[in-house]
Structure 1
Amino acid sequence: MLKKWLKRFDNVNDLDVFIESIPYPETRRYVKHVLRNRGIYKALYLPS
């Protein structure tokens, strides 16, 4: 199922569309949390 889903969304350029297309709610929430935390760390530790 994962290969089929990845092939279907292979050329998606919009990250929000890609995330919302994740068929598993737990995985979708996890991805959102990881990306949120990435943004926080980037803001805290990378110079502007």
Structure 2
Amino acid sequence: MDVPKIVEEIDKLPNVYSYEYLNMCTSGGAEYIKEQIEEKGFERIVVAA
């Protein structure tokens, strides 16, 4: 899969934020998710691995 291309295409959708993070299932990834929720005020998230 061409993950950078997927992120690029998803970013074109309204009210959607996408980001490629190699190790999202680590404590660093969890902290990143928490920061983004607080910073951007997300009501829902989807994590794909």
Same fold (TM over 0.5): no
- Look at both structures and tell me which one has the larger radius of gyration over its CA atoms: 1
TM-score by length of 1: 0.40
* Structure in which a larger fraction of residues adopt helix: 1
